[in-house]
Amino acid sequence: MGSSSKEETASDGDTASGGASPSNDGRLFSEGERVLAYHGPRVYGAKVQKVELRKKEWKYFVHYLGWNKNWDEWVSADRLLKHTEENLVKQKALDKKQGVEKGTKSGRSAQTKTRSSADTKAEKDDTKNNAAKGKKRKNESGNEKDNVSAEKLLKIQIPATLKKQLIDDWENITQKDKVVKLPRSPNVDDILSKYLELRTKKDGMINDSVGEILKGIRCYFDKALPVMLLYKKERRQYQEAIVDDVSPSTVYGAEHLLRLFVKFPELFSYVNMEEETWTRMQQTLLDFLKFLQKNQSNFLLSSAYESDKVSDGKGKGKDD
Amino acid sequence: MGGRNDEGGGGKEKEEEQDGMSVHSPCKALPSSASSLSKEQSQVELELRLLEALEIYPPVKLRGIHRHFVLYGLMEYLGRSFDRQFTADEVLQLLDRFYNIEMLKSDDEDIDILNHEEDFSLPQSYFEKEEQ
């Protein structure tokens, strides 16, 4: 991602508007809005953080979700797409074309507002087409090398049956109003130590590196659970289950641990790591996922879910 | 030489020296009977590599959520440089010669995604896969 300088106001007109329609009388995207953003040959999930009118053209400061802040940049509207199903399909198609898939954060279910307003619609479609062409050009001039290595760096392939599990999990919680019965057994700590035990046996020695990675997973889990691993409907349960200094990894189980792996690239994007080291770490993570997969019938049961009793506002009461 | 500038580090001189780590000769002999000179050299080498590694794995990251992965990175870096395994404790002891890690301030607050609650959502791609 090359040109992101903040004082590009002057040169901007020439460089960025390659295929853009000139200026708009209104802004197309608002602060805080989730969007899809072209970068190189692909489209990424992004968030508009600032909007400014510069030289009669609206500029949007975007953060690419799951990517280091260093990638944040000012772009014009031709680089952005509304976060709609239609555009997500487009993104998917581009991904496929590039032969690499990258976990973009899409699938926000409650996305109702698709277009900002009717009168910008036509223009919008216009810019979209232009954007696509412009992108191709950029692609050939080739700043995609960085991209590729960054993608490779963060990718973790979740086995298909575990993906299925994640979908079932989504269905149970968001569609069937269920929650995971807590405390869960085995909990995350149990699972991690079981894996370490197994691995130690297999390797014939204590593998300090694996141990450190597992500690890392546990640490991520505890910190990430309340801020990004819960569906909305699970928040109340969390408030009740996690009191004082109880660590989530002793209460929650494989269902939530699996969600961490969906979010892992986002968290891990803040860490710098040598390629070779990451490759080894990735192998361990994959091996761990396979271990979860093998033990799916122990760790991940449909009977772990129960209907959410407190959903009608009664709250707790069983403890007193 | 040897970064003896830490007040609290204490017995760094007493800790076991790394066996068989000789800077120049390719043959790794000289266990504990190594001359103090080569011991000294191997320590210098060790510290140098560590300092190199810190460029990739900054010590401040040892204070936050990424601590273990950064520590892992350091273990692997040194492991590759000296062709033997390093334990986490070993690396931490080594770091203690230069830094008082406890005093560093975690930079977790720079991690946007940790600073505001966001509901979990599955990426759209999961649902598309399902249809196949």
Would you state the pLDDT for residue A129?
42
Report how far residue B93's alpha carbon sits from residue A83's, in angstroms, rounded to the nearest whole number.
49
Q: In this complex, which of A107, A108, A268 lies closest to B127 when CB atoms are compared? A: A107
Name the phi and psi angles at A259, rounded to 5: -65, -30
B126 and A163 within 8 Å at the Cβ level: the answer is yes
pLDDT band at residue B104 using 50, 70 and 90 as cut-offs: confident
Based on the structure, what is the number of domains in chain B? Answer: 1
Nearest CA in chain A to B55: A272
Among A residues 234-263, those touching chain B with beta carbons less than 8 Å apart: 259, 262-263
Q: What is the pLDDT of residues B46-64, one digit of tens each?
A: 999 999 999 999 999 999 9
Question: Measuring CA to CA, which residue among B83, B91, B84, B2 is closest to residue B41?
Answer: B2
Report how far residue B93's alpha carbon sits from residue B43's, in angstroms, rounded to the nearest whole number.
13
Nearest CA in chain A to B109: A270
| B87 within a domain of the structure (yes/no) | yes
B124 and A92 within 8 Å at the Cβ level: the answer is yes
B75 and A272 within 8 Å at the Cβ level: the answer is no
Strands A42-54 and A34-39 come out as antiparallel
Which amino acid is present at A282?
Q
A231 and B119 within 8 Å at the Cβ level: the answer is yes
Per-residue pLDDT of chain A (320 residues; tens, 9 = 90+): 444 444 434 334 333 333 344 444 578 898 888 899 988 778 888 899 999 888 888 899 999 887 778 888 999 988 999 887 778 777 777 776 665 444 443 333 333 333 233 333 334 344 444 444 333 333 333 333 343 344 445 678 899 999 999 999 999 999 999 999 999 999 999 999 999 999 999 988 888 999 999 999 999 999 999 999 999 999 999 999 998 889 999 999 999 999 999 999 888 988 889 989 999 999 999 999 999 999 999 999 888 898 876 544 444 444 43
- Quick one: which H or E segment has residue A90? helix A85-98
pLDDT band at residue B16 using 50, 70 and 90 as cut-offs: very low
| B47 within a domain of the structure (yes/no) | yes
Residues sharing a CB contact under 8 Å with residue A83, sequence separation 6 or more, in sequence order: A33, A34, A35, A36, A45, A106, A108, A111
A272 and B76 within 8 Å at the Cβ level: the answer is no
Is the distance from CB of B43 to CB of B2 less than 8 angstroms?
yes
Would you state the pLDDT for residue A319?
40
Would you state the pLDDT for residue B34?
53
Would you state the pLDDT for residue A140?
36
| B17 within a domain of the structure (yes/no) | no
Would you state the pLDDT for residue A11?
39
- Partners of B127 on chain A (C-beta within 8 Å) are 107, 167
| B24 within a domain of the structure (yes/no) | no
pLDDT band at residue B15 using 50, 70 and 90 as cut-offs: very low
In total, the C-beta contacts within 8 angstroms joining chain A to chain B are 131
Calculated CA dihedral for residues A277, B63, B1, B38, nearest 10 degrees: -40
| CATH 2.30.30.140 domain residues, chain A | 33-97
What phi-psi label fits residue A46: left (phi over 0), alpha (psi between -120 and 50 degrees) or beta?
beta
| CATH 1.10.274.30 domain residues, chain A | 160-307
- Partners of A108 on chain B (C-beta within 8 Å) are 121
pTM for this one? Answer: 0.60
Question: Whole domain around residue B94: which residue ranges?
Answer: 40-117
Domain A33-97 classification at class level: mainly beta
B69 and chain A in contact, CB less than 8 A: yes
Q: Greater confidence, B27 or B119?
A: B119
CATH of A160-307, one of 3.10.20.440, 3.30.360.10, 1.10.274.30, 1.20.120.160: 1.10.274.30
Nearest CA in chain A to B64: A219
CA distances to A30, A56, A60 from A74, rounded to whole Å, are 14, 15, 5
Task: Kindly report the nearest CA distance between residue A26 and chain B, in angstroms.
Answer: 29
Report the complex ipTM.
Answer: 0.72
Task: Kindly report the nearest CA distance between residue B37 and chain A, in angstroms.
Answer: 30
Mean per-residue pLDDT for B9-33? Answer: 46
Nearest CA in chain B to A270: B111
Starting from the edge strand earliest in sequence, which strands make up the sheet with A34-39, in order?
Answer: A73-76, A57-64, A42-54, A34-39, A80-82
Residue B14 confidence (pLDDT) above 80: no
Is the distance from CB of A77 to CB of A127 less than 8 angstroms?
yes
Report how far residue A225's alpha carbon sits from residue A239's, in angstroms, rounded to the nearest whole number.
12
A215 and chain B in contact, CB less than 8 A: yes
pLDDT band at residue B23 using 50, 70 and 90 as cut-offs: very low
